[in-house]
Structures are given as C-alpha cells and as structure tokens.
Structure 1
C-alpha cells in the first residue's frame, strides 16, 4: 500500500511513525529490515534489533521476517530462539528470551522480548515498536541515541497512549525542530483509502465493493461505542487527553455545572491524638457549620444515593451525593473530600451526611483494604441498601461502561471543579477496562496528591443509583418526642443519636 511504500522509502537515520492500529507499518518495517540484513556491508547491509512491548510482538515480527527471507534468499537460517545476554548497570547479568534469523551476508535480525539494559551496546538498526507502551519510553529513546555515533539508525513506531506520554512529547519536539526525527503519520482512514479493506477481501476470498468497505469501517468504529477518545487515539492517531484516557476534557466539562458545593476538610497530624470526645466534637462542629445548611436544602421529593472512595492518608476520602430526578438524571448535590482524617471521624461525617438524605435509595463504598471498616459500618447502619464494593477488574469491566455512557446521554451532572475534572481525566484504559492506573498520581489545586478520588466515588454513586433497593425516609419528629437530650432532630428531619456523646 502507498503508505507502507512511503515508510520504506524514507532512509533517514531517525524516523518515527504515529499510526492507527493494523495499518501495516510494522509489516512494512519487517520487509525493509529483511532486505537490509540480507544485503552485504558494501551495499548498506546491517544488523537489525527489534524491541517490542511484549514477547508476542517479537514472535510476530520475526515471523514476518522469516516469510520475507524465504522469498528473497535461499541461504537464510531458520528462526532461532535463544537467550540474549544482557548486562545490567550493577554488573549482574540477565537473560532475555529472543528470536534470531541469520543471513548469508553475515548480518542478522533479532527480536527481543523486552528492553535490554545495555541497549547502548547494540550496533545496527534499532526498531522500537509500540514505543508509547514501553515501561520506560524516555529511557529507551535516550539509550538508543548512542547508536548514532557508530552509524546506526533508529525507527520508532507506535499508536498513541496519551498526550502526556513521552512518545507524544517526542513527536511535539520533532515538529518543533528540537530533535531531528522525520515524522510520518498513518491513520486508519489513510490505510483504508490506500486499499486495506481490499487486502482483507483478498485474504478472505471475498469480492470488494465500496459499500462493503464503508460498512466495514463503520462497524469497526461503532465497536468503540461511547469511547470516542479511545477510537480517535487507536484509529486516527490522535492522542487522548491522558495516557489511555477514557474521557476527553470536553466530555467531562460538558456535564459540569457551577454552584454545586465541594467541601474539603484536611485534618492536621496531631488531630488523631486528641481525645475521642474532642475529635467527635470538632467533626460535629464542622458538620453543623458546613454540611447542615447544604443538606437542609436537599429536595425531599427526590431519591438520593451516595458513593465513597476511601483513603486514610496520602490520598483523600471522597464522598459524592447525587439526587435522581424524575427524568433519571443523576445530579450531584454535594462532594466532600476528607484528608488525613481518623477512621472514627470519617464514619461520623459520613453518617451525618447519609442520615440526612431524603428518600435514601442506597450507597456504594470502596471496601478494599482499610476501606472495609467504613463500608462494613455503613452496611450495619443502613442495611441492604449499602453495597460493599471490591474494586476489582470484574467490577470495573461490568460497571464502568455505564458510567462512561452517562457522559454522552445527559444522565449525569457533576460539580464544576478543577480537581474533579482532573480526577476524571485520570480514568484510563488499563488492560482493556477503565480505572485510575495504580501508579497515577498528580497534584491538586490545593497542593495535595490526588489519585482520581472523586471519579471513583462518583462512579460508585452512579453504580448505587442503578441498583434495585428500597427507599428509606424518615417522618419528622420533635426533640420532645425523641426523648429529650439523647436524640437531636437533624435539619432534614428524622432522629439520630446526640453527637456530643461521641456516638455517631
């Protein structure tokens, strides 16, 4: 195809391809590398080292080379599987599973299953495939630059993996003239125009038609559903807002509204050492000051749900409360973030909120690790309406698609807040499902580290809104009816224990 020929024709020392998936660039590179390794030194032959992001990629690449080698040379050796000896910086040695084909020219093509530490010691042409998905992209790129000293060449090929990925940064630097890479861009649309579907039909033994080609491309794009950011990244070579981002900034801001309260309570380190009564009083005073006026305004006609992403230190505990309108729009009415807050006070603050929710339909809490304590206490207090959620791969696969869909169908409203925006931008595709990557941390507007806290809490809240549950409500009563000082009447009605006694 024309774009494959264009890639092969460029003999630059440094060249880079940003591509859509299955556009055939790695296939074309394998052909070029086979010809290079089969050529004598005087005619420009050289060794080729292929470095993919997985062992399977290396096996696939060496298979392409073997196929081409049989077509151009009768003296090619069979594929050898061997252990590449790699010396680490500390002097120790590790062995990397690799594949190799030797040519009569004396050169070879090697496909390594992972990046060697002594990559600077390789001599020849280095091909880095799916560079954006290597664990240390910048380290790989910096290391292979040393090859240029001895006349080596570098080919970088990859689909995108976010605007903040070093692969995309390299492209921006090259386009700005800061590094001498020659940039090529091959989106899926171009490959289709150049005959990709014709090749598919040829292989399958089917008749090509323009209508069939259009339907085929539409079917592939439709398979992404609402994941338009992922589709543009994987097919159109347009990097997502974050590494593997599930939602674009535009999608998130479209569901945000001003005026929805976002409250933050960060406890000092010495707070946990205060007496239990003192800590309870401080938590109660903060609740009366900040939360009570907001909860008193909650629409008593509508069901309410809540979601909690737990953290004890480092990250924040996020509590999201939503009301469900008659049109089934989940509108956030309150977002609370608690930092460095002792377990008991997290429980007290959560109960203060949930006790005052009109028509409480249910809630969902992160029950992993230390979060199991708060989730269990909430389930004991509120019964079967509370879901104790283990945030596993299975849960993400089953429930995150519905939350993402809400950003496109108008059934979700979030607070207009920079940190909540950033939290949702952190949602990414990891091994085929959406979550906040475990190692993803960033600074919030208050200088504290964040880990997508409100995004997870909001997804749990949305999950709770989709569960079949009984709606709980309270009939307002006076303090006299409640029995004097043991109980107090919250602003929204109902009875809760007097907080001054330390029982929340």
Structure 2
C-alpha cells in the first residue's frame, strides 16, 4: 500500500456498495483498484474474500487489469497463479476472458461489457471506462444484482460527452437521487498528490518541480481541445441552457409574488439614518408583513441570499419545507441599489419573522461578506452559512436544485425575470453556473440573481442541521430607533 497515492488509497478504503470515480486519464485508477482486487481475492470466504469481475469495452484493458492484479499478488506475496487466457465457444463468435486464480479459490476475471456475462455470478464488479461501454444502464443493472449477496460495484471512467449515461449518473449522484459515493480526481489534483513523483520513481529519474511543470504543460498541449474532458473531468459539448423553459414553468405559480425595493430618491444613501430607517420600516410593514403573517407556524423555514449593490440585485429567498418535504418559496424580495444598512434592515425584518427559522445561506463574496457577517452575528454561526461561491460550489450544489425541478418538488414565483434568471444558468466546462457578465433585462441589470438565491436557500435546507430552535428576542418598543441614533 506504500506505493499508492492518497486518492488511490481513498478509493480502496471506500467500502460503499456502489461507488463512482470520474477521473483524468492515466492517473493509476484501474491499477490501484487491481491492488484491492488482489487482496480481496486472497482472503477466505470467512474473512470476506470474493471474486472480482472486471468489465470494459476494450479487450486490451481487461487483459491489463488482470495482469496488474497478478503483479500485485506477487508484490503482496499472495498465493496466486499466472494470468490465464480462456476461450469460450459462443454461437456467434468465440469469447476470450482473462483470469488469475488465487489459493482461496476466488478469481479476478476480465470480461467483455456484455451484461449477460454477470449472470449467476457472485462477488465484486468493476466497470472501467464506463462512459464508453455500449449500454451502461443495462450493465449496471446486472451488476447491482451482485450487491444483494454482499458484493460491491465500482464504476470508473473519464468523461465521454455531456449526454453520456456515465455523466447522467454523475449528475444524479450529485443531486442526491442515488445513494452512491462519488470520487473525482482531475489531472492537477493527481499531480498535487504526487503522480509525477511516482512516475519519476518508476523511471528512475530525480523529481524536480521545473520538470513536473514542463511535463504538465506538454501533456495538456498533447490533448489539445480535448484536454478539458480527458484530463480535467469536464464532459464535452457544454454550453447549452441548463434548465428548459417547460421544466421551470412547471414549477412556477403566479400566486407567489416578487417584491421589489428601490431607493425612494436618488440621494437616499445620504438621508439621516433615523429617517431612512423609518422609511424602510414602513415599506417592510406594508409589503412584507402581510406575506410573513400568512406563513405556517408548523413548518421549517430557511432562506438564501445573493448579494448585489449598485449593479446586480440582492435577492432574498425564504423557503418553506412542508410536511411532505416539498418546498415553496412563498415570495422573493429583490433589492436594487440598496445601501448596506438597508439590506441589513430588510433581511433582519424578514428572517426575524420566519416561523421555526432553521437556517440561511448568504453569498459572502466581495461586499456580500458584510451582509453575511451581519446575519451570522445576529442569528449565530450554527444557523448561517457564509458561502464563497465558486466553480466547486456550483458543481456540487446546482444538481440538487435541478433535481427539485425534475421531481416537481419546488414551487417558485412565476415571473419572466425569475424565468430568465434560471434559464441564464449555463453549462460551462461541465459546470452549471451563471455567465461571467451580467445581462440587461426589462427591469435593469441582472446576473441570474434569483436563481443563485434559490440555490442558496436549498443549500441551507440541505446542509444546516440545528436541534435548537432559533428565537428572536425583542429589546422593546423604540429600542431599535434609539440604538440607531448616533450610529
């Protein structure tokens, strides 16, 4: 095990019944898995030993995997035979399989990717370069039958296009639709873990950072336009709309309003604090109070917030979790050109009155960090997630949002602006996220603001778990205004 890199060890240590690995090419994924297969096959039945069946679309790959298993057996000093090549007569054509047999009686066997090869088998299944097999769905269905008897299934692959079955499984795992575990290792992650150092060790070369950097650039250049997919786990053919109009509209209701606040005057930011506070308080009482009073006292409530100041909007999204676990955004609050203190005031007014408040997530990038910190200080770190929106966050957290739309378990306001915000989320290098620049809408500049806010509200609901109910304690009538004086 000493020769294995950290990500290879993590894969082997994962004993989940079903696990997937999206990876860069040539990082030693199959080679490491063969080490695990050798160890498992060498155990007795009482110790948990079992056979492993390796399937792929390529005959040479199956032969190599079995050969790697035999090589690992020698390294571990396990009692095992040599690689056998067996030809099975078939009505249409002969089929060649490769296997190595262990003293325990178990085998590691390389097969073609025909699902029928798994009939009557017991043990473990490895499906390699799964994005390239002819029918991954049927193959996986056949493989899952082996888990009923204590076996497990591992699916390993680089990507082969955005529409491949393999990528659909990856998205479903991220969306929480499948309880499989997911590993991801791109080229740079493998290098950081020591891939090039391991290559130098095998070749007998001395490792140098300059040599590694040059090798990295040369490898990326060799793959050309395919580098993103082949090395960095980004499925090709990206760039289209992430959610269709029909899918979004099927989860919209015209009865759910969008409330907008804009400064009552150009110089509002210069108004005396107490007068500005009173102006905003009156707006909250007129616009928000009636909506908040209608919220069910028995349901959990969450919120999400995407921050904007002079350009993009700030959008607050309250989120209700119903008894049947369906979700509703009872209204959205859009703030355009709102001063920081006004955003704090409106956020506090809304969240203080959310029944059974259970958590919120706020965009904490740039100036948004100020509002996120305000929320954390007011409601506590256990209830507030300060989110630094990034490619990693979008990759992991947007699929659950899409799953809510596909399952029709999320209801949102029906307006053209909200629709366009959601349709503005695009697949970019395999990741659903807003475009780099804002767009000009009918009501001004937008940057998928409500879409991000809704995603953050769902993130809060999915990740924040606090046993103690948050309660708001008022300081008494007029206290807030007195506190603002001399501020």
Query: Residue 430 of structure 1 corresponds to which residue in structure 2?
Result: 428
What CA RMSD, in Å, does the superposition of the two structures yield over aligned residues?
3.3
The residue number in structure 2 matching 1:245 is 241
Report whether the alignment pairs 1:486 with 2:478: yes
The alpha-carbon deviation at position 210 of structure 1 amounts to 8.5
Q: Deviation at 1:388?
A: 0.6
Do structure 1's residue 332 and structure 2's residue 252 form an aligned pair? no
Is 2:368 the partner of 1:377?
no
Q: For residues 476 and 296 of structure 1, what CA distance do their matches in structure 2 show?
A: 18
Which residue matches 2:314?
A: 317
Alignment of 1:67-106 (within 5 A): none
- Paired residues for 1:168-187 under 5 Å: none
Task: Provide closer, same or farther for how the CA distance between residues 204 and 459 of structure 1 changes in structure 2, counting only shifts above 3 A.
Answer: same
Kindly indicate whether residue 399 of structure 2 is the aligned counterpart of residue 407 of structure 1: no
Task: Tell me if 1:215 matches 2:135.
Answer: yes
Matched residue, 1:78: none
Do 1:281 and 1:500's aligned partners in 2 also have CA atoms closer than 8 Å? no
> What whole-Å deviation, never above 9, does each CA across 1:443-494 have from its counterpart, x for those lacking one?
3332x011000000000000000121245354999xxxx75x335xxxxxxx
- Contact kept? 2:326, 2:410, Cα under 8 Å: yes
Structure 1 residue 248 displacement after superposition: 1.2
Q: Is the 8 A contact 1:304 1:358 kept in 2?
A: yes
Does the aligned pair in 2 maintain the 1:281–1:499 contact within 8 Å? no
What TM-score do the two structures reach when normalised by structure 2? Answer: 0.52
Q: Distance in 2 between matches of 1:330 and 1:503?
A: 42
| Residue pairs, 1:109-258, within 5 angstroms | 215-216=135-136, 220-221=164-165, 223-225=167-169, 243-258=239-254
**Residues 396 and 433, structure 1, Cα contact 8 Å, conserved in 2:** yes
Q: 1:299 aligns with which of 290, 296, 320?
A: 296
Structure with higher Rg: it is 1
Of 353, 360, 365 in structure 1, the residue corresponding to residue 362 of structure 2 is 365
Report deviation, 1:379.
0.2
Match of 1:125 in 2: none
Give distance in 1, aligned partners of 2:368 and 2:309: 8
Q: Is 1:457 the counterpart of 2:453 in the alignment?
A: yes
Q: Which moved more, 1:244-253 or 1:417-426?
A: 244-253
Question: What is the CA deviation profile of residues 357-379 of structure 1, one whole-angstrom value per residue up to 9, with x for unaligned ones?
Answer: 10000000000000000000110
8 A Cα contact 1:246 1:425, kept in partner: yes
- Contact 1:227–1:246 (CA under 8 A) maintained in structure 2: no
Question: Which residue is equivalent to 1:278?
Answer: 275
**How many pairs were matched up?**
280
- Compute the displacement of 1:290 (Å): 0.5
In structure 2, C-alpha distance between the alignment counterparts of 1:308 and 1:436, rounded to whole Å: 15
* 1:410 CA drift (Å): 2.8
Shift of 1:269: 3.0
For 1:421, the equivalent position in structure 2 comes to 419
* 1:247–1:503 distance in 2 versus 1, CA, 3 Å: farther
Question: Matched residue of 1:322: which SS?
Answer: strand
Write out per-residue CA displacement over residues 208-247 of structure 1, whole angstroms, 9 at most, x where no aligned residue.
898787524767425324969xxxxx9xxxxx9x943221
**Cα distance, 1:287 vs structure 2:** 0.5
Runs of 4 or more above 6 Å deviation: 202-213
Q: Report the alpha carbon displacement of residue 304 of structure 1 after superposing the two structures with TM.
A: 0.4
Gapped runs of 5+ residues in structure 1? 1-199, 229-233, 235-239, 488-496
- Report the TM-score when normalising by structure 1: 0.50
- Cα distance in 2 for partners of 1:303, 1:389 equals 21
Q: Equivalent residue for 2:13?
A: none
SS of the residue corresponding to residue 240 of structure 2 reads coil
Query: CA shift at 1:502, angstroms?
Result: 6.0
Which structure 2 segments of 5+ residues have no match?
1-56, 63-94, 97-111, 117-132, 141-163, 173-228, 230-236
Give the whole-Å Cα distance in 2 for the aligned partners of 1:472 and 1:214: 52
Q: Is 2:417–2:441's contact at 8 Å kept on the other side of the alignment?
A: yes
Q: CA 1:416–1:499 in structure 2 vs 1: closer, same or farther (change >3 Å)? A: farther
Counterpart-to-counterpart distance in 2, 1:473 and 1:209 = 54
